């Protein structure tokens, strides 16, 4: 993870909404070891017509390790399922 030009592909594993009108997207690696959490204002996503894709490429340095074993297993299962059933650019 030391090379700042390295990117990692992550797959959408969770989408939720909170009481602040934020859409929370969690992307993870297919082994569940790393995650990236994005919080986006629902109004901004709608206004800019932003779409959620099945996968994203993100600089590896921006990823957080998943330290909880159960969560890592769940993320691995969800990410693998998404990778098996979608192309990375599929809108989900």
Judge whether 65 lies within some domain: yes
Tokens coding 80: 């693998």
Tokens coding 57: 């490429």
In angstroms, rounded to a whole number, what is the distance separating the alpha carbons of residues 76 and 79?
A: 5
Tokens coding 26: 């969690």
pLDDT of 24-46, one tens digit each? 999 999 999 999 999 988 877 77
Residue 81: which domain range?
A: 7-85
Sheet holding 22-28, edge to edge: 55-59, 7-17, 22-28, 34-41, 64-65
Judge whether 71 lies within some domain: yes
Question: How many domains is the chain built from?
Answer: 1
Please report, in angstroms and rounded to a whole number, the separation of the first and last CA atoms in the chain. Answer: 29
Judge whether 91 lies within some domain: no
Judge whether 2 lies within some domain: no
In angstroms, rounded to a whole number, what is the distance separating the alpha carbons of residues 25 and 16?
A: 7
Quickly state the pLDDT bin for 48 (edges 50, 70, 90): confident
pLDDT of 64-74, one tens digit each? 999 999 999 99
Residue 12 pLDDT more than 50?
A: yes
Judge whether 53 lies within some domain: yes
């Amino acid at each position: 993870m030391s090379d700042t030009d390295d990117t990692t592909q992550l797959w959408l594993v969770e989408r939720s909404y909170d009481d602040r009108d934020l859409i929370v997207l969690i992307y993870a690696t297919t082994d569940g070891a790393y995650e990236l959490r994005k919080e986006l204002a629902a109004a901004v996503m709608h206004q800019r017509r932003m779409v959620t894709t099945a996968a994203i490429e993100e600089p590896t340095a921006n990823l957080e390790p998943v330290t909880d074993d159960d969560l890592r297993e769940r993320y691995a299962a969800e990410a693998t399922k998404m990778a098996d059933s979608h192309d990375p650019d599929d809108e989900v």
